[in-house]
Structure 1
Amino acid sequence: MSLSQADERRLLRLYDAAVAPQLWPDILQDLARSVDAVGCCFAIDNVKETLIAPPMSPELRDPLTDFVEGGWYAHDLRGRRGWPLLKTGRCVLIEHDVSTEEERQKESYYNEWLRPWDLPWWSAVGFACGESLLALALLRNARQGAFTRTEAARLSAWRPHLKRAVSLAQLLSQRQADSVLATLQHLERAAFIVDMRGRVSQLNDAAEALLGGELELHCGRLRAVRRNDDLRLQGLVAAVLAPPFPSGTVTEEPILIGSAEAGGGLLVEALPTSGLLQDVFVGTRALLVATGLGPRKAPPEERLRRLFKLTASEAAVATRMAVGRNVQETAESLSIATGTVRNHLKAIFAKTGTHRQSELVALVQRIRLR
């Protein structure tokens, strides 16, 4: 079925949204209304579960927040049956392709999530972008009724525009990611961009220089060479990739890899790319920043004193703690009691606005004191 002039006008606006992401919600809502749907959103096949990309119709924000925060993404019957069908070459699916009347009456997915939100009817327009399989999911309420095969044929004509617009958005996001990596390279920061499957999609020269030391790439995934370090690193990556998404925040603390005293220690932080890189289709999911913590990185005590108004003793303790030494090691190096170190540390935390050693390390390394 060819596109109507009205549909083509609406779909051409997708390219505006690719350049200006803030336009996505209104444009998607307009598309949904054109087929008498409550709203629509982009879904992404993430192998084990369905991810919802940030651009969505405003009318769907509350039910989709519940979909993620309520854990329904892990019980997504439509996704579990729909993605395999789209991979076989089906262009458009409707509710009757993935569920029976009996299932819609009995399954908790329908009765405990979809029914309270009055979203019993669904259609999905599938299309591939690079290695990712995406779908524009449209949802209707009971009054609007189920999508028909005739309507599915109309939606099939949307696919070329959807694919081109999303591909353009991803290209622009990649260029923005290149700029972020270059900036961090200029600041002597090693940076890895991780996609939604946990693979490193891009890295800067400083990050590449770390490979073969404390870190390595294995099947596209960042690994630490030591087992205990790698357990912490994989935990950090798993935390930043875990739903809900988009969350916009990462609560995990930075991790220490290796030994700072031996000159090879690294502080690794995970930053969400939502907003930072404006990758609305989650091709980039997180930015991992690694900072060397060898002895050469230790900040001068006098600079710490001036910046945070520390006493000489506090600055001496802060300098050592900032390169990864523990309380006992700091006490021995300064020939003072561990209780004295802990007292100084309380004062340091208060003056720097930190609460634990990892936060102090991150603060000192961010400001690049030498």
Structure 2
Amino acid sequence: MEPDRDTVLKIYDAVADASLWPDLLQDIANQVDAVGCIVFEWQRRELERKLAVTVASSYYTLTDLGKYIARFFEEESRDQDLFEAHSLQSDQIELVQDDVLAPTIEDLRALSNVSTLEKLGIRHRAAGLLNKDNPSQFRFSVQLDASRGRLSADELGFMQIVLPHVAKAFHLGRPTSQLALEHRSLLAAMDRLIIGVCILDSKGNVVVENEEFRRQRSSYRVFYTDASGTLRLYKPGWEQRFEMLKSDVSNHGKFGARPRKEAIAAEEDVFLCIEVVPLHRSHEIGSKSFDGFIVYSSDTSQPIKCQTGLLQSAFGLSNTEISLAEAIAQGLTNRQIAERRERSVATINAQVKSILSKTNCATRTQFVRLMMGFGADYLKKANQ
């Protein structure tokens, strides 16, 4: 049991248009004979946390889900923590069945929140983390009709194939979601983003690019356009991978819940982190199939803003280490940090090495990518 190509393409279309998610999640639910799907997140304010719905399939209303969470916050917190603990045992994106919540079916049905759900026609649930670097984000859950049992092996297999694509789409859709809060679309407001964005047609030719992508293309020997207008990469290895991602949609989403792919070295201490997703159809482009691509490129030497408190809590960083992380987020090199703090470069290197060890990152660039997953602000300030 595998998702068809159209389902995967629709998932990546949601990168550019977040309004597609409710119907898309319902379609995924229908393919495993489920009632619906919900994506949760933990929102934290100091020592308090709030369980919120990021998006839900069209079966649900956000108002009803909000009322349910408010009524059963303690019970759902317990369930979420148990699902998280079991999901974190693997780097793969796999759903955890609700047998982890209670030893027997009878004990499960005796739980007050499950009892209420059963009256609404839902008994079993399965859940898993789509981002295991930041477990607060993208907590996927599927709900099953009370007349059936838990997910079958085939259904779990289907979800194991489709969810890495969902995870990648949610991850890369965050800049678009921030634009949507301003009631702007990706293509109409690309220049508001601090990351580079380039839209390619089905032949790989550049259709439109934002100011940041043009800056990167002119500043670094990474991208170029050939005589026909096709976007290419100078380095053969990356050009080969670039072509592979454009050739087959199944090549996407293969990096699990910790997608720490290495970046391209643009120059000394400057790296570009590049992501590619298909763009099958977009109402901004037209009603016909577009079958193109979106290329995202992040310059790790540029300042980023992230919620360092969440980062510190997730990985147990000391106050000194989180202060150093904030300096890295400003785009400073280790040498520049050493000069500003009047410390030796060797001392800063050792402190950075400690941070990398605690966050399971192999390189400083991977750590920058990790920070971007903790509430990064992708929008330029008004005066930028």
Common topology (TM > 0.5): no
TM-score by length of 2: 0.43
Pick the structure with more helix per residue: 1
Bigger RCO (CA 8 Å, 6+ sep): 2
